[in-house]
Amino acid sequence: MVTGASSGIGREIAKCLATKGYDLILVARREGLLRELAESLVAEHGCQADVVVADLADPRQVSMVKEMVETVDVLVNNAGYGKWGLLTEQDEDAIDGMVDVNVRALTGLSRYYGDRMVSNGGGRILNVASIAGFQPGPGMAVYCATKSYVLSFSRSLHSELRGSGVTVTCLCPGYVETGFGEVAGMNLRGEIKSWSAIPASRVALIGVKAMERGRREVIPGLLNKPVPLFGRVLPVSLQLAIVRVVLMVGRPRR
């Protein structure tokens, strides 16, 4: 099962899994894009690809997914989004939505399907976080906090399930050309995109390989790999200053 499969990294992970012979359950809000993807994967790879249309910001629809799909061998928790802006200026519904999708749905699906994987003797969970989870992010405070949660949660679950046959891998990409910036309301300059962006297809392949190897976490891109080290050695005040400058470059134009 791949959540957030209609575009971006989720779409590329679905394509990558299809090339490896996996049958798929594709979950997202946008039915047209989901069905288009499912049809192309079936035609190109001969796999089975079922579609579940659901908005994971709605707990009732998360429950619906669980009712429709009893068990899976692989769970990819990719669905998530962010919004740029000072916390005091953000819409409360947008804040709640980020927490519901990025944290609540991911946790609930991991619990539900992880339990069934343990009972079945094995399985793999791939949670998509971000390098934003390694440090605070003024200007994207809620998003960065949710990704920090995903990283910490995945590390803990990886340890809890050791020896059960179930592995948990956390994928922590940096900037990826996926349309995330448009959804977040950011306006990154071309020069930043050019030196930092990694194709979503490459990120997906790295994530799937790490998942299949049972790795705890993986950070795509050489330029992104030092980020966790910065979080350990730099004073928080300096981290905040650096992130503030980087995010201010992408501040929406008024």
Burial 107-128 (b: 16+ CB within 10 A, else e): bbbbebbbeebeeeeebbbbbb
CB atoms within 10 A of CB 87: 11
140, 154 Cβ separation under 8 angstroms = no
Polymer length in residues for the chain: 254
Q: Is 143 a catalytic residue?
A: yes
Catalytic residue among 22, 112, 113, 143: 143
Q: What is the DSSP letter of 251?
A: P
Nearest to 174 by CA among 220, 205, 215, 128: 220
- At 91, phi and psi to the nearest 5? -70, 135
Catalytic residues: 143
